[in-house]
Amino acid sequence: MNTPRLPVRTDKRPNEGLVELRNYTLIELQGQEELATIYRATHQTLDRPVEVHVLRRHDWISVSRFQLAARLAARLTHPGLVPVIDAGHDEQLGDYLVTPQLDAQPLNKLLEAGPMPPIRVLRIVQQLAAALDYLHGETIFHRDVQPVNVFVGTEGVAYLANLSLASGPDTPDLSSIDEADYLTPYSAPEQRLSKGEAGTALDVYSLGAVIYHMLTGEIPAGAELPSLARHDPGLVAADRVVQRMMAAQPATRFPSAGAAALALRQALRSYVDEASDDMEESRWEPVAEWLDNPVETVLQTTSDEQFGAFLSRARKRADELHRRDAIRRHLTSWSRDSYFRRRSLGQLIELEQIVSYNVYFYELKICYETRKEGRPRVRPFAPDDQPSNQAIPDLWAIPLPEIKPDRKARPTEATVPHSTRILACTTCLHEGKIPCNVCNGTSLVTKTNKISHPDRSRTEETIEVSCPQCKGYGKIACPTCDGHGKMTETQVFLWSREFRVWEETDDIEDLPPVALKTEREPVFAGTIDLFQGNWQSVAPLAALIDAASQYGDQDTRIVSSELNVHGVMITEIDGLLEEKPQRLYLIGEQNQTIGDWTLLNPERLILTTVFGLLALLALLTLIFTLF
């Protein structure tokens, strides 16, 4: 079986140069995938780099699959899934969908170099498993997990793409697709679209096949695969995990992708120890697990010292707590610190799972700048005014004065460089003078003199004299151009700045809020490029970026963004206490222990209550006796 490649219909492609598609400018061809041609593009309003996927087939099955992938990816939110931020239909190019520009390569390209190191495989698998578990929780099954649909970034972030064959509540009928067009070497033997059935087992099998390919460098072919130990004797335990994932009977496989990933991590613990200088997983409790947060992979690329120190402390704390009997010793010590707690709690609880991880709180401070399109301003010509023969820069390329951080800039007028033009004055028609408005250009005005006669009578005499306004010239300097005969025109525009703060957190719904508030600490503060692809791999940050990008109108852009992150160290302990499920939390570096009332000693509570009531009764009796 081969990777499906349906017959390709030649369709319209953008011509050479920049092509516009709705709100996007297509810059260059990136490549092709099964259903679409991919272009590197820019969002015109937001000035945001994106990838535009244009459907290149137009049969109804391809259109249905393409629209299904767009619909599902647009409503699903997970750091391990490539998000769809826009979709639609263009009259010239047809159906399209838009994704963020990711700094990642298809896994099949990376596998051309041969097998991958087990640690890198484990990191990719853990992320893919988390994405698949999320899909399965939404009753969606991918049904096409294979290297061509997996993208791996330079920082090790993995993404699962292409939901065009997914099964879900609103999946169209794809039963008419030929088996040769969807079955791959990574497909489970029972997978058939004609049956319309799907489940977790299909994706677990495919993930196992991808793991086999990553560890061996060979495409899994045939029912009986050579053992992984043939390639590396240290992979004997990992081979058992992969064989179970790819078992012929679906019921034999792991119940979830996450369970398979956990089993693989335990099978590769010796490799994990070799690759880490701050954790020794071979000395851990078998049920202990460390979970990486997607933001940690991204923040590590910034080489920020504050974050590096926090993560190092968090991993050291987890390594100490995960050692054999460490949790039991801690719980026993904690239970002795209070009279009302159960005695020897660490010995009473049956440990089922110990998971350590960090949760983060995000604050995104955005500076928005608004620039309104330029308008002409005309003033009288000045001797030092010179027209510019240079090109007028783009409105957003014009430098503006710096302002203090967090300080709002009110609408201010600024001049567009190289926009000066010298124009003839329309009032005086370039002459610099206009007819005098007193003498109407005649240079003379009439003046009446009163004459007194000897007989004491008076008469008036009208004579013409030179106009006092124009001094007898008949013209005056043009008030519009100040007598220069020319006007100077420059383009001006209004600009303003404002700051807004956007906040989000990791999923902390079930965690104790008071402890989180008291134990959180700053771990990162710095300026970031919002539209750098790796930030999209962090679900809370992706939501913040989306919200921040939607703010403002078409004249507004983001000019700077500052990210502040606070973190809290968490350890979850799941177990059985008197055969009843129990969950405890160790919060922060000091391991603040949080549980429910069942951790209290009921006998001592009752005894204390009885003694308290008896003391109160004795006091009341004494009071009544005295009075």
Please compute, for residue 105, the number of CA atoms within 13 A of its CA located in the half-sphere on the CB side: 10
- Which pLDDT value is given to residue 18? 66
- Which pLDDT value is given to residue 74? 82
| Residue 326 within any structural domain of the chain | yes
- Which pLDDT value is given to residue 181? 62
Residues 121, 151 share a domain:
yes
Average pLDDT over residues 286-300: 88
Residues 186, 139 share a domain:
yes
What CATH code is carried by the domain that includes residue 28?
A: 3.30.200.20
| Residue 7 within any structural domain of the chain | no
Q: What would the pLDDT profile of 9-26 be if each residue is shown by its tens digit?
A: 334 445 455 678 878 889
Residue 171 belongs to what domain range? 109-275
φ, ψ for residue 521 (rounded to 5)? -140, 150
* Cα–Cα nearest to 116, from 150, 83, 143, 142: 150
Rounded Cα distance between 218 and 242, Å, is: 14
What CATH code is carried by the domain that includes residue 233?
A: 1.10.510.10
Range 81-115 burial, b when 16+ CB lie within 10 A, else e: bbbbbbbeeeeebbbbbbbbbbebebbbebbeeeb
Q: Is 73 in a helix, a strand, or coil? A: helix
- Which pLDDT value is given to residue 57? 80
Q: Which of 390-404, 509-523, 589-603 has the lowest mean pLDDT?
A: 589-603
Q: Which of 75-79, 240-244, 484-488, 553-557 has the lowest mean pLDDT?
A: 75-79
Average pLDDT over residues 369-387: 91
Q: In angstroms, what CA-CA distances link 123 with 133, 193, 254, 430, 572?
A: 16, 31, 19, 76, 21
Q: What would the pLDDT profile of 565-596 be if each residue is shown by its tens digit?
A: 999 999 999 999 888 899 999 999 999 998 88
- Which pLDDT value is given to residue 122? 94
Model confidence at 294, pLDDT cuts 50, 70, 90, reads confident
Residues 259, 121 share a domain:
yes
- Which pLDDT value is given to residue 536? 75
CA angle 271, 276, 282 (to 5 degrees): 55
Q: Please provide the average confidence, as pLDDT, over all residues in the chain.
A: 87
Residues 134, 83 share a domain:
no
Average pLDDT over residues 402-424: 85
Q: Would you tell me how many other CB atoms lie within 10 Å of the CB of residue 366? A: 22
Q: Would you tell me how many other CB atoms lie within 10 Å of the CB of residue 211? A: 27
Instruction: Please state the pTM of the whole predicted model.
Output: 0.72
Instruction: Point out the domain boundary residue: 240, 275, 310.
Output: 275
- Which pLDDT value is given to residue 489? 94
Residues 133, 181 share a domain:
yes
Residues 113, 89 share a domain:
no
Residues 466, 347 share a domain:
no
Residues 347, 207 share a domain:
no
- Percent of the chain predicted with pLDDT > 90: 44
| Residue 284 within any structural domain of the chain | no
Does the pLDDT value for residue 543 go beyond 70?
yes
Residues 89, 115 share a domain:
no
* Cα–Cα nearest to 567, from 365, 356, 406, 320: 356
| Residue 419 within any structural domain of the chain | no
Model confidence at 564, pLDDT cuts 50, 70, 90, reads very high
Model confidence at 90, pLDDT cuts 50, 70, 90, reads confident
- Percent of the chain predicted with pLDDT > 70: 93
Residues 113, 73 share a domain:
no
Cβ atoms of 66 and 82 within 8 Å: the answer is no
Looking at per-residue pLDDT, the higher value among 170 and 305 belongs to: 305
Q: In angstroms, what CA-CA distances link 63 with 12, 160, 183, 544?
A: 16, 21, 19, 31
Residues 261, 140 share a domain:
yes
DSSP state of 284: B
Instruction: Point out the domain boundary residue: 244, 275, 306.
Output: 275
| Residue 244 within any structural domain of the chain | yes
Per DSSP, helices labelled H in 556-601 are: none
| Residue 485 within any structural domain of the chain | no
Does the pLDDT value for residue 176 go beyond 80?
no
Q: What would the pLDDT profile of 309-329 be if each residue is shown by its tens digit?
A: 999 999 999 999 999 999 999
Residues 118, 88 share a domain:
no
N-to-C CA span, the chain: 98
Q: What would the pLDDT profile of 106-161 be if each residue is shown by its tens digit?
A: 999 999 999 999 999 999 999 999 999 999 999 999 999 999 999 998 778 899 99
| Residue 262 within any structural domain of the chain | yes
Structural domains counted in the chain:
4
Residue type at position 46: L
φ, ψ for residue 2 (rounded to 5)? -115, 165
- Which pLDDT value is given to residue 66? 87
| Residue 87 within any structural domain of the chain | yes
